[in-house]
């Protein structure tokens, strides 16, 4: 069996060995349902689609995804286990990717469990299932982006609470980087090119086009390269911090 | 065989290990002695490939630890200080994870797993999560993990620290039982342990080797016949100079 798969399996079973997995899944399902029906006006809109469901995903992920990623490396460092893990015949890249994929697969499981909404909307009307599928893919990619950021931040500290808070802040900046709340901070001193580049990093703009059913290769490349970048940063951070 | 050449590790301005060189032959049980902060753990972390040296190199059974890391790590078993393991896993799950990583399969896997469980008396706790175990059992789980693949080289950082006298005795018996054609390196600051299990003792202080001989010849240096006195004399002299 491949090393990445071995790490993935261990990490995934670690989620389910503690109440973390069940608490997360229940809260995710309850919140996403409540937001869809109450704030999103699922019935009142009179349209057979899942837009009111997916529109809240960026905001749900902002708080829930860092809660999944915070333990990935912080716990490993606090318990001293990182020394065991990295002296096994496994490369750093395999460990980083295996852990990330376990967390990603776990959010995938939570996402799949929202299928009753998909059944409901198909029962009530005649939605465009292609758009719904695209939105699920987009949501998954966005969760991957959040997780990669969270995994990297988790490696910077031994304290899971600090990992959580810093991850939320950085994810928030990425989420809203196309909006004035973030851009004004840079406009004052950075050249226009930099401001434009930052604006193009927004999770919200990339996610909203996918969730409308437009699978643009650029959006997919954006999320994949974002994940790759943060996972690479993750290996660098571990290399720097493991001695302390 | 382990070959260590001019191994140095600096953390910022602080030099933890300062140009250490030595070889260890198969069959030797090397005791690594020194006051706290002398560089014992840092040296072990570099031998096992956890920390990259600032300069110098380590070869384990011909494999460079830097560069040929995977092969070097395959031949080593390592018990880090404090015997960390994944607390939420049961002992059986944890050993199975290690067996996966160590590429043990089929009959060999079963034979090795059963054998370490018996050697370390883990039968009674095999289905308990590691975090619920006593310190002595946790240590034994850590040792089981280190010897599961029957490694050529076994490195243990303070294997008996915090154990009761009976447990210490068991660990020493285990080390003695392993030794014939293997390399064993243990760090400790319990001197009687060196006398009990080691065939060679290296004392380090402030990152340098200050003595490298058999426990018997160390003992012979002391007029009182106590290792403690030799240890204090050697390491304190180094600090004063």
A98 confidence band (pLDDT: 50, 70, 90): very high
Our CA-based measurement puts residue B5 at a distance from the nearest CA of chain A, in whole angstroms, of: 20
> How far is it, in rounded angstroms, from Cα A142 to Cα A57?
9
Tell me whether residues A87 and B88 touch, CB distance under 8 A. no
> B67: which chain A residues are within 8 Å (Cβ-Cβ)?
none
Nearest 5°: CA angle at A239, between B34 and A175?
A: 145
pLDDT at B241: 52
The CA–CA distances, whole Å, from B181 to A77, A131, A157, A239, B147 equal 34, 66, 42, 34, 14
Higher per-residue pLDDT: A216 or B179: A216
Of B11, B73, B81, the CB nearest to A88: B73
Supply the ipTM of this predicted assembly.
0.90
Q: What is the pLDDT of residues A39-60, one digit of tens each?
A: 888 888 878 788 888 989 999 9
Query: For residues B222 and B143, what is the distance between their CA atoms, to the nearest angstrom?
Result: 34
Residues A83, B50: C-beta atoms closer than 8 Å: yes
User: Which tokens go with A133?
Assistant: 């599928």
Q: What is the DSSP letter of B213?
A: E
User: Nearest Cβ partner of B101 from A6, A18, A83?
Assistant: A6
Q: Is B53 on the interface with A (CB under 8 A)?
A: no
- Exposed / middle / buried, residue B143 (Cβ in 10 Å: 0-12, 13-18, 19+): buried
Q: Strand B2-11 vs strand B55-60: parallel, antiparallel, or unpaired? A: antiparallel
Is B84 within 8 Å of A243 when comparing Cβ atoms?
no
Q: What pLDDT is attached to residue B130?
A: 94
Q: Give the pLDDT confidence of B15-70 residue by residue, as tens digits.
A: 999 999 999 999 899 999 888 888 899 999 999 999 999 999 999 999 999 889 99
From A197's Cα to the closest Cα of chain B, the distance in A is 36
Q: What is the pLDDT along chain B (241 residues), one digit of tens a residue?
A: 999 999 999 998 999 999 999 999 998 999 998 888 888 999 999 999 999 999 999 999 999 998 899 999 999 999 999 899 999 999 999 999 999 999 999 999 999 999 999 988 899 999 999 999 988 899 999 999 999 999 999 999 998 887 888 888 888 888 888 767 889 999 987 777 888 889 999 999 889 998 898 888 887 877 777 777 778 777 776 555 5
Residue B30 pLDDT? 93
Tokens of B41: 């753990």
| CA pair distance B141, B117, nearest whole angstrom | 9
Q: Residue B240: what pLDDT?
A: 55
CA–CA min distance A99, chain B (Å): 14
Would you call A80 an interface residue with chain B, using a CB distance cutoff of 8 Å? yes
A:10-69 residues touching chain B, CB 8 A cutoff: 10, 13-14, 17-18
Work out the mean pLDDT of chain A and round it to a whole number: 90
How, if at all, do strands B2-11 and B14-24 pair?
antiparallel
Bridge partners of B77, per DSSP, are B154
Question: What residue in A sits closest to B86 (Cα-Cα)?
Answer: A81
Residue A120 CB burial class (10 angstroms; 0-12, 13-18, ≥19): middle
Token readout for B97 is 């994870």
Beta carbons of B100 and A6 less than 8 Å apart: yes
Q: Is B11 left (phi over 0), alpha (psi -120 to 50) or beta?
A: beta
Closest C-alpha among B36, B8, B41 to residue B235: B36
Between vectors from CA B189 to CA B186 and to CA B190, what angle results, nearest 5°? 95
A63-74 per-position pLDDT tens digit: 999 999 999 999
Taking an 8 Å cut-off on Cβ atoms, the answer to whether A83 and B11 are in contact is no
Q: Do B80 and A84 touch (CB under 8 A)?
A: yes
Q: Rounded to whole angstroms, what are the CA distances from A74 to A67, A102, A156, A234, B174? A: 12, 16, 7, 12, 34
Q: Which of A18, A80, A243 lies nearest to residue B84, judging by beta carbons?
A: A80
Residue A129 has pLDDT above 60, yes or no: yes
Could you tell me the pLDDT band of residue A192, with boundaries at 50, 70 and 90? confident
pLDDT at B186: 92
Point out the residue among A79, A91, A243 whose CB comes nearest to the CB of B84. Answer: A79
Tell me the two tokens of residue B77.
Answer: 């078993």
Instruction: Name the burial class of residue B209, with classes exposed (0-12), middle (13-18) and buried (19+) by CB atoms within 10 angstroms of its CB.
Output: middle
Percent of chain A with pLDDT over 90: 61
Chain-chain contact of B80 with A87 (C-beta, under 8 angstroms): yes
Contact B155, B77 (CB under 8 A): yes
Residue A1 has pLDDT above 60, yes or no: no
Q: A83 vs B87: CB contact, 8 Å cut-off? A: no
Is the pLDDT at A84 greater than 80, yes or no? yes
Phi and psi at B53, nearest 5°, equal -70, 150
**Pairing relationship of beta strands B76-79 and B29-33 according to DSSP bridges:** unpaired
Which residues are paired to B154 by β-bridges? B77, B184
Number of structural domains chain A divides into: 1
Q: What range defines the domain where residue A214 resides?
A: 2-243
The burial of A108, by beta-carbon neighbours within 10 Å (0-12 exposed, 13-18 middle, 19 or more buried), is given as: middle
> Apex CA B131: angle with CA B125 and CA B137, to 5°?
45
Residue predicted with more confidence, B190 or A29: A29
Which backbone phi and psi does B225 adopt, to 5 degrees? 75, 20
Tell me which residue in A3, A81, A242 faces B84 most closely, judged by beta carbons: A81
| Angstroms from B30 CA to nearest CA on chain A | 20
How near does any CA of chain A get to the CA of B225, in Å?
38
Q: Is A140 helix (H, G, I), strand (E, B) or coil?
A: helix
Q: How far is A71 from chain B (nearest CA, A)?
A: 13
- A209 vs B97, higher pLDDT: B97
Q: Which helix (H) or strand (E) holds A142?
A: helix A129-154
Is the Cβ–Cβ distance between A6 and B77 less than 8 Å? no
Chain B CA closest to residue A9:
B97
Q: Residue B23 pairs with which residues in a beta bridge? A: B3
A188 touches chain B (CB under 8 A): no
Which pLDDT does position A40 carry in this prediction?
Answer: 81
């Amino acid at each position: 069996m491949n090393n990445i798969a071995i790490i993935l399996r261990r990490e995934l079973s670690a989620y389910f060995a503690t109440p973390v997995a069940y608490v997360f899944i229940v809260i995710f399902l309850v919140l996403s349902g409540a937001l869809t029906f109450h704030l999103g006006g699922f019935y009142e809109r009179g349209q057979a689609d899942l837009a009111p469901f997916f529109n809240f995903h960026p905001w749900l992920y902002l708080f829930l995804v860092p809660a999944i990623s915070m333990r990935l490396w912080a716990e490993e460092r606090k318990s001293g286990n990182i020394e065991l893990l990295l002296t096994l015949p496994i490369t750093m890249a395999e460990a980083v990717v295996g852990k990330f994929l376990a967390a990603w697969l776990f959010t995938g499981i939570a996402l799949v469990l929202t299928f009753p909404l998909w059944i409901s909307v198909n029962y009530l009307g005649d939605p465009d299932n292609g758009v719904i599928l695209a939105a699920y893919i987009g949501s998954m990619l966005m969760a991957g982006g959040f997780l990669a950021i969270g995994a990297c931040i988790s490696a910077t500290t031994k304290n899971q609470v600090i990992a959580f808070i810093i991850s939320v802040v950085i994810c928030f900046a990425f989420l809203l980087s196309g909006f004035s709340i973030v851009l004004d901070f840079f406009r004052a001193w950075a050249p226009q090119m930099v401001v434009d580049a930052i604006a193009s990093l927004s999770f919200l703009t990339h996610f909203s086009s996918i969730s409308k059913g437009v699978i643009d290769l650029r959006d997919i490349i954006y999320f994949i390269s974002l994940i790759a970048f943060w996972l690479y940063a993750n290996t660098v951070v571990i290399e720097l911090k493991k001695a302390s | 065989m382990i070959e260590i050449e001019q191994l140095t590790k600096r953390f910022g301005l602080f030099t933890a290990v300062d140009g250490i060189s030595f070889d260890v032959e198969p069959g030797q049980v090397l005791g690594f002695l020194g006051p706290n902060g002398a560089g014992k753990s840092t040296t072990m972390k570099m031998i096992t490939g956890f920390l990259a040296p600032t300069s110098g190199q380590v070869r384990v059974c011909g494999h460079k630890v830097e560069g040929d890391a995977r092969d070097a790590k395959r031949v080593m078993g390592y018990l880090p200080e404090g015997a960390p393991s994944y607390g939420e896993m049961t002992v059986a799950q944890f050993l199975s994870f290690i067996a996966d990583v160590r590429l043990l399969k089929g009959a060999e896997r079963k034979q090795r797993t059963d054998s370490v469980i018996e050697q370390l008396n883990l039968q009674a706790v095999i289905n308990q999560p590691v975090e619920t175990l006593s310190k002595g059992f946790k240590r034994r789980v850590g040792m089981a993990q280190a010897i599961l693949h029957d490694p050529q080289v076994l490195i243990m950082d303070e294997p008996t620290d915090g154990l009761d006298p009976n447990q210490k005795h068991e660990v020493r018996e285990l080390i003695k039982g392993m030794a014939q054609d293997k390399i064993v390196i243990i760090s400790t600051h319990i001197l009687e342990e060196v006398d009990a299990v080691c065939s060679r003792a290296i004392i380090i202080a402030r990152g340098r080797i200050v003595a490298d001989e058999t426990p018997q010849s160390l003992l012979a240096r002391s007029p009182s016949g106590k290792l403690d006195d030799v240890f204090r004399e050697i390491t304190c002299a180094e600090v004063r100079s």
